[in-house]
Amino acid sequence: MINALRQRFNIPPREEWRERIMDMVDARVRAITAGLSMKELRAILRGDEPTEKPNPRYKVITTSFVAHLRPRYYQQAATWFSHTLRLGWFTTFFFVVETITGVILMFYYIPFPDQAYGSILAIESNVFFGELLRDLHRLGAEAMVLFSWLHLLRTYFTGSYKGPRSFTWLTGVILLLITAWLSFSGYLLPWDQLAYWAVTVGSSITESGPVVGPAINMIMRGAPDIGTGGLLRFYLQHVILFPLLAILFISIHYYKVSREHSISLPAVVEETEMDPNEKKEHTRRIDLIPDLLTHEIFLTALGIFVMLAIIYFRWFQSPLETHANPQQTPLDTKAPWYFWWLQGMLKIDPAAIFENMLGAVGIQVELSRLLDSKFIMGLVVPPALVIILMAIPYIDRNPSRLARKRPFAIAWGIAWIFIVLAWSYMGTPEYGIETPPATRIIQDLAPEEGEGPLREIPFEELQAGIYTVGQDEAVDLCPQYSYIPEGGDEHDLVLGCPHLTAVFMEFSERLRDAEVDGALPNLNARLLVEQVQHNLFRLVPHVEWSDPATGETKTYEHTYFLHENRAEH
Partner 1 sequence: MKNIQLQIILGTILVLLSAAILIVMGVREPARLAEYEVQQRAGQIEFGAGVYINNCTSCHGSQAQGIPGRAPSLRSEEFFTARLDEVGWQGSLEDYIISVVTVGRQVSTRPELYPGGGVPAMPTWSEKFGGPLRDDQIRAVAAFIMNFEAYALGLEPTAVPVLPVVDESDPASVGRAIFLTAGCTACHTISGLSTGNLGPVLDGLASRAGERVEGLSAEEYIHQSLVDPGAYVVEGFDNIMPADIVAEMSEEELDSLIAFLLTLE
Q: Rule CB under 6 A: which residues touch ligand HEM? A: 84, 86-89, 91-92, 95, 148, 151-152, 155, 160-161, 165, 168-169, 172-173, 175-176, 179, 250, 253-254, 257, 263-264
Q: Of the candidates 169, 568, 242, which has an alpha carbon nearest to the alpha carbon of residue 389?
A: 169
Shortest spacing between CB 526 and ligand HEM, in angstroms: 54
At 451, is the secondary structure helix, strand, or coil?
coil
- Residue choice 453, 465, 498, 521 for contact with partner 1 (CB under 8 A): 465
With binding defined as CB under 8 A, does residue 291 bind partner 1?
yes
State the pairing for strand pair 465-468/524-533: antiparallel
Nearer to ligand HEM, 91 or 443 (CB): 91
Nearer to ligand HEM, 169 or 234 (CB): 169
The runs of H, that is alpha helices, within 47-106 are 56-63, 81-84, 87-106
With binding defined as CB under 8 A, does residue 120 bind partner 1?
no
With binding defined as CB under 8 A, does residue 322 bind partner 1?
yes
With binding defined as CB under 8 A, does residue 555 bind partner 1?
no
Phi-psi region of 10 (alpha: psi -120 to 50; beta: other; left: phi over 0): left
Nearer to ligand HEM, 253 or 334 (CB): 253
- Binding track over 345-384 against partner 1, x by CB under 8 A: ----------------------------------------
Give the number of residues in contact with partner 1, rule: CB under 8 A. Answer: 58
Cα separations in angstroms, 529 against 466, 534, 539, 565: 6, 14, 5, 18
First to last CA, the chain: 80
With binding defined as CB under 8 A, does residue 10 bind partner 1?
no
Cα separations in angstroms, 261 against 84, 116, 325, 405: 15, 45, 51, 23
What's the rounded Cα separation, in Å, for the pair 542 and 508? 11
What's the rounded Cα separation, in Å, for the pair 167 and 245? 17
Nearer to ligand HEM, 60 or 250 (CB): 250
With binding defined as CB under 8 A, does residue 566 bind partner 1?
yes
At 556, is the secondary structure helix, strand, or coil?
strand
Shortest spacing between CB 166 and ligand HEM, in angstroms: 8
Residues with Cβ < 8 Å from 337, sequence gap 6 or more? 142, 424
Nearer to partner 1, 309 or 516 (CB): 309
What's the rounded Cα separation, in Å, for the pair 6 and 23? 21
Shortest spacing between CB 381 and ligand HEM, in angstroms: 18
Interacting residues toward partner 1 by CB under 8 A: 47, 114, 117-118, 121, 124-126, 128-132, 290-291, 294-295, 297-298, 301-302, 304-305, 308-309, 312, 322-323, 325, 463-468, 471-472, 477-478, 480-481, 528, 530-536, 538, 559, 561-567
